Structure 1
């Protein structure tokens, strides 16, 4: 059977295979036609060599070259939008409309264009000039970046086109993308368009390379290789921590997004005031995309009592009556089943019907569980098991002090939300728990579910461990996300004509032009 080629050094070549894999359509459980190679170390080695050379070549090109590539890539993606989304739908089960074609693909191209603007503007590099001491510094490219994309965003977080990719290229680095095994055909389509954009805009051919899969040992070896400048990973905690251990051992920066249950606290006044409205809002947020968002509200903390009971009953009705969505893969289905079992073993009670899944596709019933605050505090680690999918845990707290203790027992999360009364009658409770919540999350929300992540310069899509590997960086939000893939370059008493243009007191005469596929400096 046909095995798809890998992209190395600007060429499509048959992989040096150590095996093959075949994705399946989660909507039917049927295998998808093509097989894809598991590359041996020789492919990894060749890609690293080519990336190292491309990194040097990129340094000699103007920022406008990277910007034009990102803009052109966005244009090519838009021109092939329907076919890309059709393939992504086949591989992930995510609906073409509105999810892929009307939401995720536009977000992807918007990110690429924002990154292009940041590259061209150059302010992200934070050029700093001490004229008296003749010392100057700015952020510059760090070298080849390996990007591991996740399964739940086949476009906007894809290793070939997503936010990490865009930030790494905008900062001046070549990317070696690890395609996700759940949607390799989508990755192949994006890689073809990336190579076309590279050729049209005169970037080094190895600016973007792609491998579909490697052995675990070779993937770790790539991250720990001296030619690797940095790495970015979005996925499971176990895989991310294994990569982090290797990266830390050699000092390679690695940026991780691992797991998050995104706590939501509903204070008593808000529950009395608009409990029905909040039940609808929570259910919609939790079940959106079959719960397969890293910002899905997986933990809701309520004050125990009559209002809480009414809220829970409404949520149970909505969970039972809502359509059961399709999960991304059989692996997600298996892991979700295990997570629900772990939560129940820790003392949680299942409140919803567990017979509504469709065996003809990859799915699990919409599941709502409940546990007391006291039981949560007895086994906080197990009660924080991430149930990635259409599942959430409600914790009923007996007091605001117990709510503070529950929040204090939480691991780091991407987001945390507090709902309070509109008349400010919950302010005393809010002031007691907000400092605890603030220390546990990257993004604090009020009166708003956390599911959406706006591509805003002010956005933080990160947080304390294990939400991410470092609380000081964001995976979403340009230009801030670019600095992850940079190093700080300092120039001490360097002669003016040898300085990067951004550090020169007067920019040199002349401008960069793309002529016959090559960037050259021509007189103004």
Structure 2
């Protein structure tokens, strides 16, 4: 018997179940016993109808209730951490310590508590008031549900029912229909139970949070293009993301995608001459962490040809070869990674170390380093600028500084771009030429640190130009900025004062809200 879905405030069996899915323990390659339903169109429509009703209720829900939900949910995650950690470890193979217990789960509860603060304070609404013309505007709820597709690589922090898209949608008073990733349905089920408990205990509309585990491609495309949907958040592969985007675009529904990228790292000559061993360690840790299954994994490294670069490549190769590879999330991930590496080799990349699946317990791929000349990369950039989702990186060895700049110019959009340079001024001239080129290609620019970590900070941009995301102007991490994706801009022209939303009335509703009044940001009331 399969586990129940959460629809309209009820845990119930799927209607007309179209099959089941079950997770596999990637560390043992053995299927886990629990089965989860593949929902058909009837479940999808039931969830949409319930969420539509909840959307109208959430528009009237006071911010304090939403903030209390986030805080209660965070507390429940901490109370049930042992269960959550055990489930995620079994389904993903990610290590219990420190990754799941001490890094990702605390990151998730921290994000929920930050969401509570943002919900209370209300700055995401960005009220604007023109007293002379008596026109007032603010960002407001969509009035429709948000559908969220969670990825496989973060079972808590980016989960459709606990991650950044989830909190951003609810801060803006929009109900969420979460679609579980098939890689960790049990973890998502447990998270949904705790989320629904928090919903009930804090008095949120019961259909504020709903969960479907899986559905056919046809049902998924219909869901993201349904007129009752307000917006869609997706994190996953480029192929799946673009298929959903095409359907949503045809229906005029906003969809926010986080997809693929290589996150280029430029190693300027002075940096390697100054601190080669240190950078070897930082790069090795970043590229192999969690078996390289981060969307910010440094998959492309650009260096200038020379003896120091050769020493760097040899040192990284030795580190890669000496380390045991981590566990990949699935057999599909393993075969896909192997196909990508083979494609890179077919287009001229040379294997320095690794380059093959391992006949080992669990789904593992050898830590892999490839190299190609700058000239060859420039001739075949489309084929060589490919994300390899695993412990793999391609080193591009440029002839000179001009070729480094040429490589930067042909890169497509990425979440991150990194420049390592000398701590003094030895690389400054090259940096000043490189930075303006790279800056337009990435969402987050880093200096002298690897891009793997994505801090939960109001200044974070976890987004970037296509193909890393579907739109360069939005982020999926960082509050209140992430909330903007799931809002509508409402303008009020000569509306009577008592009929305005509290944030647009003359009196500041909480005394802390920043409002743009006649061109000046202020927390003051209007006289």
Q: Do these two structures clear the TM 0.5 threshold for a shared fold by scoring above it? A: yes
Q: Does 1:332 align with 2:345?
A: no
Aligned to 2:473: 472
Aligned to 1:513: none
Preserved CA contact (<8 Å) 2:334 2:357:
no
SS at match of 1:161: coil
CA deviations 1:165-220 (Å, max 9, x no partner) are 01111111000000010000000000001111111111111000000001001101
| 2: CA distance, partners of 1:40 / 1:356 | 36
Preserved CA contact (<8 Å) 1:457 1:480:
yes
Preserved CA contact (<8 Å) 1:417 1:449:
yes
Preserved CA contact (<8 Å) 1:300 1:395:
yes
| 2: CA distance, partners of 1:28 / 1:508 | 56
SS at match of 1:300: strand
| 1: CA distance, partners of 2:438 / 2:53 | 46
| 1: CA distance, partners of 2:454 / 2:60 | 35
RMSD over aligned Cα atoms: 1.2
Q: Does 1:181 align with 2:182?
A: yes
Inter-CA distance 11–502: structure 2 relative to 1 (3 Å threshold): same
| 1: CA distance, partners of 2:503 / 2:357 | 60
SS at match of 1:18: coil
* 1:508, distance to aligned residue in structure 2 (A): 8.0
Aligned to 1:121: 121
Aligned to 1:214: 215
Aligned to 1:450: 451
Aligned to 1:432: 433
| 1: CA distance, partners of 2:354 / 2:410 | 30
- TM-score where L is the length of structure 2: 0.95
Preserved CA contact (<8 Å) 1:104 1:155:
yes
* 1:431, distance to aligned residue in structure 2 (A): 1.2
Aligned to 1:321: 322
Preserved CA contact (<8 Å) 2:271 2:423:
yes
- The answer for unaligned runs of 5 or more in structure 2 is 511-527
Inter-CA distance 354–405: structure 2 relative to 1 (3 Å threshold): closer
CA deviations 1:377-404 (Å, max 9, x no partner) are 1110110111000110000000111111
* 1:353, distance to aligned residue in structure 2 (A): 3.8
User: Could you tell which deviates more after superposition, 273-282 or 208-217?
Assistant: 273-282
CA deviations 1:384-438 (Å, max 9, x no partner) are 1110001100000001111111111111000000111112111111111111111
Q: Residues 98-247 of structure 1: matches in 2 within 5 Å?
A: 98-142=98-142, 143-247=144-248
CA deviations 1:112-166 (Å, max 9, x no partner) are 1111110110011101111121111110111200000000000000001001101
| 1: CA distance, partners of 2:110 / 2:253 | 29
| 2: CA distance, partners of 1:331 / 1:174 | 32
Aligned to 1:487: 488
SS at match of 2:396: strand
Preserved CA contact (<8 Å) 1:324 1:356:
no
* 1:358, distance to aligned residue in structure 2 (A): 4.2
| 1: CA distance, partners of 2:391 / 2:499 | 57
Length, aligned pairs only: 508
| 1: CA distance, partners of 2:48 / 2:249 | 19
Q: Does 1:33 align with 2:30?
A: no
* 1:506, distance to aligned residue in structure 2 (A): 2.8
| 2: CA distance, partners of 1:4 / 1:41 | 18
| 2: CA distance, partners of 1:277 / 1:98 | 22
User: Could you tell which deviates more after superposition, 499-508 or 143-152?
Assistant: 499-508
Q: Does 1:415 align with 2:408?
A: no
CA deviations 1:81-139 (Å, max 9, x no partner) are 11101100000000111000100000001111111110110011101111121111110
- The answer for unaligned runs of 5 or more in structure 1 is 510-524
* 1:356, distance to aligned residue in structure 2 (A): 7.5
Aligned to 2:13: 14
Runs of 4+ in 1 over 3 A off after TM superposition: 353-356
Preserved CA contact (<8 Å) 1:412 1:465:
yes
Preserved CA contact (<8 Å) 2:354 2:369:
no
| 2: CA distance, partners of 1:342 / 1:328 | 21
